[in-house]
Structure 1
Amino acid sequence: MSFLKNTPKILPLLVLIFLAMACRSSQTVSLPKGVPIVTRAQWGAAPSVLPMKTHVPKKITLHHTAVKQNPDRTLAAKLQALQKFSMERSQLSGGRMKEPWADIPYHFYIDVHGEIGEGRPLQYVGDSNTPYDPTGHALIVLEGNFEVEKVSAAQRQSLERLMVALAKRWNITQDHISGHKDNASTACPGADLYHMLPQLRTLVSSSR
């Protein structure tokens, strides 16, 4: 009887404990250790707008934003704009309309200065505007159009560090590292970034 009498007081406390545990679990799953990453909370992410499917990362797939690098804009502003675009019905560069996504399609975003931002939490499947299933793919996008631009030295350094950490955490082998164009008909991740893939695979393999 005394327990039932105190239930209204206990329930809010239990809810807070559950939410705290869920947040810790999310961070543990989403963020590899030893890599400086600007979290969703730090860059001011809005909550996801649609349900998302969970998965276990088994691959690493690289993308580029296909938009020229902007060194004067903050990482937070870039991620907020990308999230807004992602969550709305938006027109793609080819004129085709994209229906709303639950959140940013990529799990990690690396800006021109090499700063890494947390995108969609890694435990959830990403999205793509091309017809391939990204289930099991840890999606990394680099700021820039690498058909006409070069990956910056800072971006490459951060990318290498992030890929090694992800591969170790999820036991991802070099043969499961690819570019977007390996999975769908697209120029993404751009020529300059795509040409780095053999060296990135070797780095991951030698770091295991």
Structure 2
Amino acid sequence: MKTSLAALLLTLAISGCALKPPAPAVVSVAEWGGTPADAAKARRHTITHITLHHQGEPFKAGTDPRQYLRNLQTWSRNTKGWLDIPYHYIIDLEGKVYEGRDIAYAGDTNTEYDPSGHALIEVVGNFEEVEPNQAQLDAVVKLMALLAKKYRVPVEHIASHRDYSNNTVCPGANLYRYVQNSYFKEQVALQLKGE
């Protein structure tokens, strides 16, 4: 006798079992056409925090995220003089996660806070002007949960750029709302509990 998916999910829910969402697939630097950073110039660090950023510029539907990342890598190195893209992970409009700077290396910022120890996540778009979509929010939660588990980061250490700097509105009011109301902390805690 065949069991429907709905019946199976109901049985699992009643029995206290939960189907955990899959960890996000991460598009590697090589896959999006980037080049690795010079390890000899890197500042190594140990992850103790997870910190959310936004791009701070419009990101229109149809924009090629791979080209955006190649441009960001070139700008970061040639214009800013940084080691690499300042963020460790970038999330596009569809919720796809891209590898940025090697997470073993401390990130960079245009403000006064020291991002050493922080796993930096950027979500594309300017969230002073637009709302994050559900695919982006879901990807942020899954990625934060993955990082929290891997590096043993307590959910209390999930925050945003503006929580460490008075000189920025990053990650934008419309994304910051989810940090401020503890949405990300609560969702990450639920994912970790379900494992």
TM bucket (normalised to shorter chain) is 0.7 to 0.9
Deviates further, 47-56 or 103-112: 47-56
Matched, 1:204 2:188: yes
After TM superposition, where is structure 1 displaced by more than 3 Å over at least 4 residues in a row? Answer: none
Deviates further, 197-206 or 111-120: 197-206
Pairing partner for 2:63 from 73, 98, 111 = 73
Pairing partner for 1:44 from 33, 39, 42 = 33
Q: Which residue of 1 aligns with 2:18?
A: none
Q: Which residue of 2 aligns with 1:113?
A: 94
Equivalences, count: 167
Task: Indicate if the aligned counterparts of 1:173 and 1:205 stay in contact, CA closer than 8 A.
Answer: no
**In the alignment, residue 176 of structure 2 is paired with which amino acid?**
Y
Pairwise CA distance, 1:63: 0.3
Structure 1: tracts of 5 or more residues without a match: 1-32, 90-98
Matched, 1:125 2:106: yes
Task: Indicate if the aligned counterparts of 2:49 and 2:118 stay in contact, CA closer than 8 A.
Answer: yes
Specify the structure having the higher radius of gyration (Cα): 1
Task: Indicate if the aligned counterparts of 2:142 and 2:188 stay in contact, CA closer than 8 A.
Answer: no
2: CA distance between counterparts of 1:42 and 1:132? 31
Q: Which residue of 2 aligns with 1:87?
A: 77
Q: Which residue of 2 aligns with 1:22?
A: none
Pairwise CA distance, 1:154: 1.1
Pairing partner for 1:188 from 170, 178, 191 = 170
Q: Which residue of 1 aligns with 2:47?
A: 57
Task: Indicate if the aligned counterparts of 2:45 and 2:104 stay in contact, CA closer than 8 A.
Answer: yes
Structure 2: tracts of 5 or more residues without a match: 1-21
Pairwise CA distance, 1:111: 0.8
Pairwise CA distance, 1:205: 2.2
Q: Secondary structure at the match of 2:121?
A: strand
Pairwise CA distance, 1:69: 1.9
Q: Secondary structure at the match of 1:196?
A: helix
**In the alignment, residue 157 of structure 1 is paired with which amino acid?**
D
2: CA distance between counterparts of 1:52 and 1:60? 19
Listed one character per residue, the Cα deviations across residues 14-56 of structure 1 (whole Å, up to 9, x for unaligned) are xxxxxxxxxxxxxxxxxxx932111001011123257111111
Q: Which residue of 2 aligns with 1:26?
A: none
Pairwise CA distance, 1:117: 0.5
Task: Indicate if the aligned counterparts of 2:29 and 2:36 stay in contact, CA closer than 8 A.
Answer: no
1: CA distance between counterparts of 2:97 and 2:23? 12
Pairwise CA distance, 1:101: 0.4
CA RMSD of aligned residues (A): 1.4
The TM-score, its normalising length taken from structure 2, stands at: 0.82
The TM-score, its normalising length taken from structure 1, stands at: 0.77
Pairing partner for 2:81 from 95, 100, 122 = 100
Pairing partner for 1:152 from 133, 136, 143 = 133
**In the alignment, residue 89 of structure 2 is paired with which amino acid?**
F
